[in-house]
Amino acid sequence: MKVVELAATFPYVSDPMRIVTKAIGCNNLADPPQNYSLFPVIQQTTGGLNESYSNKTSYRRLHFRGSFSCNSSLRSAINSFPVWPRDVALHWSDMSPLKLPETYRIRALQSSSVGGISQLALSSRTGAYLSNLAQRAAKSDKRTLYEFTRAGMSLDAPEELASVLAAMGDAYFAQ
């Protein structure tokens, strides 16, 4: 199992546009939020506001913490990003940057600068977490099922999700 870390050092103190843009060597002036970004992509509709939003992707919250909040290049990129306030609620915070616990990071890379993926340790705790998540997915109520189907998923999707999560959890216990 892997988790993505949006940090090159812990905490990240350089220009955050380098980690926001996924193209290496991309020029910051080339409008990275439009072309090369990890920001949410909002599909533009050609009609009015009353059209169906079934094909639209939107994130309810986008959080930037720590040194991100005082960086002018990231602020200007966010401010020029064409989203409606109801699509993305942007929160700037001066709280300390998020850090993954050292046990979640690859031991060989713990002291080096990392800008990519860190691997979780294989453990029974991960298996227990996945099994618990599978049980919660299996016990989904009518409201959850309604939200799944409204989003375009099949009626069997929650059941399939529960079985896949359970199988993933079992794989951790087998070791």
CA 42 – CA 9 distance, rounded (Å): 30
22 and 83 in a common domain: yes
How many domains does the chain divide into?
2
Output DSSP code: residue 50.
T
Strand partners, 89: 61
134 and 53 in a common domain: no
68 and 138 in a common domain: no
CA 42 – CA 89 distance, rounded (Å): 14
95 and 128 in a common domain: no
CB 32 within 8 A of CB 20: yes
On whether the pTM is more than 0.85, the answer is no
Domain containing residue 137? 124-173
132 and 79 in a common domain: no
CA 165 – CA 124 distance, rounded (Å): 14
40 and 13 in a common domain: yes
117 and 129 in a common domain: no
3-state helix, strand, coil in the chain (%, to 5): 40, 10, 50
CA 134 – CA 171 distance, rounded (Å): 13
164 and 103 in a common domain: no
Choose the final residue of a domain: 77, 93, 121: 121
95 and 9 in a common domain: yes
87 and 139 in a common domain: no
130 and 115 in a common domain: no
CA 36 – CA 25 distance, rounded (Å): 11
Render each residue's pLDDT in the chain as its tens digit; 175 residues. 333 333 344 455 566 666 555 444 444 444 444 444 444 444 445 554 444 444 444 444 455 555 555 667 766 766 666 555 554 555 555 555 555 566 655 565 555 554 444 444 456 677 788 788 888 877 777 777 777 778 777 777 778 888 888 887 776 665 4
